A and B are shown apart, each in its own frame.
Chain A
Amino acid sequence: MSRNAETLIRADGVSVRLGGNAVLEGVDLAIRPGEIVTVVGPNGSGKSTLLRVLIGAVFPTHGSVERGGGLRIGYVPQKLHIDPTLPLTVRRFLNLPRRHRADEIRDSLERAGLQAYADASMSDLSGGQFQRALMARALIDKPNLLMLDEASQGLDQTGTADFYRQVEEIRDTLGCAVLMVSHDLHVVMRAADRVICLNHSICCQGHPEAVTAAPEYRALFGTDADEALALFRHDPHKHPHEHPDGNECHAQGHEKKSADA
């Protein structure tokens, strides 16, 4: 896993206004190779919009997004509706937008536990299988940045825990950075190298443990935050990764917070 100073993607002072509402305000964010970054925030805090700005689906009203050379994004959307008039097998879905050799498809399906479903229609998959197919498609081109939007949605607690373990595995085997968005505090904390707490603007960020202790974070999530912190402290698999800027909430966050509240 490389961890040099080069950034994969960077947002500089990104603000987005949709229909007169400020969805994002002055968000600065840089993702470095191989790190797992989790964006947490309440519903409607702009998390999904932030991801959509980064993939280029939403144009920032102010600020800019800079993509590093050779950036390959694997994107797993929050939900995907496939029109019933569109026939699409799992195999065909994995071949979008680039076609892959049969053995690559087979390997990918095997890793996702979908080897029996290559010729099944996407619309016949269960929620969990559909999620795994989305993930397999995002990974098949070996991205260096995997983006997950509420990917654990609809999974039960065990499923969610497995899912985040899987995310760590993917990072370790592929060496890709992971940027994920979630409102699910409990499990998110375990897998992240860095947590960004978003409520239209970034209110605090850093190492998960530091963030869960930050007053801004606790103000946003209340007692849920206590439980998440407790969970985190009892987790025997703490992350050994280094965090140059990890152990404090950014001063910038403190200033923004007052304007936000």
Chain B
Amino acid sequence: MLDDFMVRALLAGLGVVLAAAPLGCFVVWRRMAFFGAATAHAAVLGVALAIALSISVFAGVLVISLLMAVLVTLLTGRGYAMDTLLGVMAHAALAFGLVAVSFLSDVRIDLMAYLFGDILAVGQADLAVIWGGSLLVIGLVIFRWQALLTATVSDDLAYAEGYHPRREELILTISLAIVVAVAIKVVGVLLIAALLIIPAATARPFSSTPERMAIGAAGVGVASVAGGLWGSWNLDTPTGPTIVCIAALLFAGLNILARLIPRARSSG
């Protein structure tokens, strides 16, 4: 029997994974996995700032993630490779965030809740923020789908069609920041990247087109959230990590299955 907070947890989880699924596909296709993880780590600084300034954690995280993502996008190619810049900025932001949190001595902050999420504590207002952000990201990705896909296949093809690949990249970057901000309550900054990458990677062997992969990733995400909630309820384990564990088990299981049934694989 699901209590009210379990229903809210389920809805929160679904909101995050449904936005993370198509976005995660682009993260995988464009090899931005580290970008996603780094943006999420920087979010700790956002948490600290939000608490210091008494603004909503969602807003603080969104601003820092956006700032981080846009800065990295702008600075890439000017002397340093993207992964180097990400390594510097993400960990600097994480470290400054942790130090900043230590100054907030008068406020008791459960840092664990932000590092690993606290999906069972999701309230009505959180749900509204999560689904608002999630629907915005889903809308953006669907609206720009063909352009994003063309730019992912080749920047030059996109230019020749009159698109601006840098602008499409910025749309992905902004979407990523939004997903990080809404997911922080659900799985926390350390595990957000997992919800982007694992469902997409799990769906890959069973997909022949980008659309099928995005839908498959959404399916894997939904199964992970449902399975993770059920598992954590029955085994009394932390919910966010349990969701990621289920996703990882699905990845391993389905990939082995794909290798046993060669016809199900669309390509090597």
Contacts and interface: CB of A to CB of B under 8 A. Distances in A.
A82 B159 contact: no
Interface residues of A, number: 28
Contacts of A124: 267
Interface in A85-111: 85-89, 92-93, 96-99
A80 B153 contact: yes
Nearest to A124: B267
Nearest to B201: A85
B161 interface: yes
B209 A92 contact: yes
Contacts of A82: 153
Contact of A86 (B152, B159, B163, B268): B152
A96 B149 contact: yes
A89 B209 contact: yes
A139 interface: no
Contacts of A92: 209-210
A73 B267 contact: no
A115 interface: no
Given A73-B160, A83-B31, A121-B266, A98 B152 contact: no
Interface string A110-153: 00000000010101100000000000000000000001000000
Nearest to A85: B28
Contact of A85 (B147, B149, B159, B204): B204
A83 B156 contact: no
Nearest to B207: A87
Given A87-B213, A124-B267, A55 B153 contact: no
Contacts of A86: 29, 152-153, 210
A93 B201 CA distance: 21
B208 A96 contact: no
Contact of B159 (A56, A80, A99, A121): A56
Interface string B19-54: 000000000111100000000000000000000000
Contact of B212 (A77, A87, A119): A87
B154 interface: yes
B146 to A, nearest CB: 5
B150 interface: yes
A57 interface: yes
Interface string B180-224: 000000000000000000000100100111101100000000000
B4 to A, nearest CB: 40
A93 B31 CA distance: 20
Given A85-B204, A87-B212, A87-B213, A77 B267 contact: no
A94 to B, nearest CB: 12
Interface of A: 52, 55-57, 73-75, 77, 80, 82-89, 92-93, 96-99, 119, 121, 123-124, 147
Interface of B: 28-31, 146-147, 149-150, 152-163, 201, 204, 207-210, 212-213, 266-268
29 contacts: A52-B156, A55-B159, A55-B160, A56-B159, A56-B160, A57-B159, A73-B161, A74-B160, A77-B156, A77-B157, A83-B30, A84-B268, A85-B29, A85-B201, A85-B204, A86-B29, A86-B153, A88-B153, A88-B210, A89-B208, A89-B209, A89-B266, A92-B210, A93-B153, A97-B147, A97-B149, A97-B150, A119-B208, A121-B267
Given A55-B156, A88-B153, 18 more contacts: A52-B156, A57-B156, A73-B161, A77-B154, A84-B267, A86-B29, A87-B208, A87-B209, A87-B210, A89-B209, A96-B146, A96-B153, A97-B146, A97-B149, A98-B146, A121-B266, A121-B267, A123-B268
